[in-house]
Each structure stands twice: as C-alpha cells, then as structure tokens.
Structure 1
Amino acid sequence: MKRTKLAIALAFAATLPFAVQAQESPSNTWVQGSYVNADGDAEGHAVRGSFEFGESNVYGLAGVTRLELDNSPVKLDGRELGLGYALPLSDRSDLFAEAAYLDTEVAVPGGAIDGNGYRTSIGLRSGLTDRLEGLVKANYVDGDDFDGNFSGTVGGLVKLTPTWGITGDVTFDDDAETYQVGLRASF
C-alpha cells in the first residue's frame, strides 16, 4: 500500500511541469497556520513559514508543531529551522532542496524526552492553474536520538486571493501518515 502511494506521488510529480500554465512561479515567502492529524492517534496545530532572501532563490524556513496523543497526557512539541533553495525550471515550476535542524520534545507525566536531528528534502512545486499549486517531495529525517526515516509528501494550495489560500498535504512513510490542512498568506 505504501509503495502504491509513493508511485502515485511520483506519477503526479512527473506531470507537474506539463500542467496548465500559471501566471507566476510559486512564492517562497509565506506564513501559515494548520490543523495536524498524525495517523489518527494524535492531533494538534502547527505554525510554519518561509522567507525568500531577495532574488537569490534561497529561503529560510521555520516551524513549530504541537501534537497531543488521544486519551493520553503525552504531548509532542517539534521545532524546525532551516534553509532551502528553489531552482526555477520554468515560469511556473521550481525544483527545490531543503535542509533543516529539528528539535523535538515528548512531554510525559513526570518529565520530558528531548530529541535532535535534521531533515533533508527534495521536491517539485508547480502552479497547475492560476489558483492551484501542487507540491511533491521526498524527505529524509535522521539524528542522534532517532533512526533514519524516508517519507514522501504530496500537497496543494488553493489560492482564494493573490495573498490568501487554503493549503493541505499528507506525509507518509512505512509507519505513519500525517495530514495537515491550513490557511496560508503568501507575499
């Protein structure tokens, strides 16, 4: 089942450069708030953002996530801080690469467990129409405190106005699926 989802994501990525032409390339300067559901067992919220440094195609990224396990006092707080680079493939599609430092804390009754690591990603973002943007990426997460793990992400952005949009994505690996849906302001 997981291989089927990965095959669908890769097929979707292959079609992105040939999609209906949009008027502008995807923005790398945005902020969003999201509802997050991890495998149906935990839910919470996230605030993420990205800021492009001038015309360099280099951008900074940051995010904070808080999840609570269902019927449990356990809470997961995650923070990430990193850099990305977007290589324009056309006036509507970018190939991108990201690297981020991850700091996680699992709060349990009587204490907390900290974990540090990193995430690297490579992917494709494309304007499918004037109001619809698609994203597909491959991720690798590793660190001293947890084992390496590959995952895939497929997502989209529906632009309500030039600034505001509704965003959603799903990240999946062999063990879990994480869904996010939120409101994004792009600049």
Structure 2
Amino acid sequence: MRKILLAAALLAAAPFAASAAEPMSYTFVEGGWTQLQLDRNGADSKPKLDGGYVRGSFAIAEQAYVFGGYSMVSKTHTYDLGSYDLRVKQELKQPELGIGYRLPMSDRVDFTSDIAWLRVNNEAEYEADGFETERYKEHTNAARVTLGVRGKPSARTEAWLKAGYIDGSDMDGTWTGTLGGQVNFTRTWGLVGEVQAYDEVTQFSVGVRASF
C-alpha cells in the first residue's frame, strides 16, 4: 500500500512537457482482451482465465462522471479419469457501475476519486461422456472506493494510478491497486493497457478506446 501511495505522489509531482495537448476526456467507450490470474494462497498453480471486456465513462458535469463495465473470462480443464474424461469449465462474469469525481491539480494532472458497485458471478460446469452435466453458480456483491491521479506525461500519452478498498457480501475487505496508461493515435482513438490487483487476483487488460 505504501508503494502505491508513493507512486501516486511521484506521478502527481512529475514534470510534464509543455507542448500543446488535448485535454483528458472523461467520456469514452473501450473494449478488448482481458486476463484474470488467480494466486490461490501462493500455490505453484496460478490459473489464468482469458476473455474480453467493455466499459465506458460519461461526464455528467465538469468535475463528475459516471462509468460502467462488463468483463467475462473462462477456462476449460480436461482431466483423464481412466474410463472417461472429465471437462470442467470455469466462467467469471463481472459487471460494475459507479460514479466518480475529478479535481484538477494542474493543466495536466487530475486527482480522482470514485465509488462503484461490482458483482462477481462464478459459474462452473462439469461434463463427462455418459454422465449428466452439472452446473454450480455463486455470486458476490461488493463495493469499491478508490483515490488516485490521472495525468498526461506527453501530448500523446496518459497514465493513471489508483489505490482503494473492496468489501463484499462473501469476501473479506481487501486493498486494491490499479495502474494504467493510454497512447493516443488520433484525437479520438487510443490504445489502453491496465493492470489491477486485489487479494489473490491480478487482472490484465488491453483494449482500444474512443474518447469524445
């Protein structure tokens, strides 16, 4: 947690180039590939589930915005049980909705804060030849609060760093950190990348963003 706060302070204090740049937009849509990696208490096995995501943000006032997103990742494992194969498919779906606030710290750096509702839907399907398919479902509702900074190191790039806390109905409260960036090709289009970590989960995302 101390490392996240130190990095946020360094980003906020970094000398930004004086060249002309488009202002940061809080109205955008994006989508792309995402991967969820599970640590499982430090075990050697770290399952990786791949999939896609979409999300967007809309500025409702000069300093306020609403946002939402949806991601789905899955992984299928096959186990040889001798007389038959067992196929296990795990699927995680995560919708979220929230509202945020930005406070300009300079022409190129904003302080940001947000609060969001998110839901983790975990589904597992067990299938084997000659047996009836079995499905199990569970879900967790949670709230997340974050504080961070977002800035423009150059006319064509952005970077953001956030630290926060997540707590939910079927999970222990835990700290979370997010590091992301964008490279703009045009005024509208950009390539974004982000990594988010909390508890035993690390999520990587790479996508394309259209800003308005």
TM (normalized to structure 1)?
A: 0.89
- 1:141 CA displacement: 1.1
What percent of counterpart residues are identical? 36
Q: Which residue of 2 aligns with 1:103?
A: 119
Q: Report the CA distance between 1:122 and its aligned residue.
A: 0.8
- 2: CA distance, partners of 1:175 / 1:113: 18
| Aligned partners of 2:5 and 2:163 also within 8 Å | no
Change beyond 3 A, Cα 1:133–1:119: same
Using the TM superposition, give the Cα deviation of residue 175 of structure 1 relative to its aligned residue in structure 2, in angstroms.
2.4
Gap runs ≥5 in structure 1: none
- 1:30 corresponds in structure 2 to 28
Letter in 1 for 2:6: L
**Count of residues in correspondence between the two structures:** 182
Q: 1:66 maps to what in 2? A: 72
Q: Does 1:48 align with 2:64?
A: no
Is contact 1:9–1:154 with CA below 8 Å preserved after alignment?
no
* Distance across 1 between alignment mates of 2:142 and 2:200: 19
**Do the aligned partners of 2:100 and 2:112 also contact (CA within 8 Å) in 1?**
yes
Which stretches of structure 1, 4 residues or longer, exceed 6 Å deviation after superposition? Answer: none
Which is higher, the Rg of structure 1 or of structure 2?
A: 2
* Partners of 2:16 and 2:108 within 8 A in 1: no
Q: Which runs of 5+ in 2 are unaligned?
A: 38-46, 78-87, 126-134
The code of the aligned residue for 2:119 comes to D
Give distance in 2, aligned partners of 1:45 and 1:12. Answer: 28
Over aligned residue pairs, what C-alpha RMSD do you find? 1.9
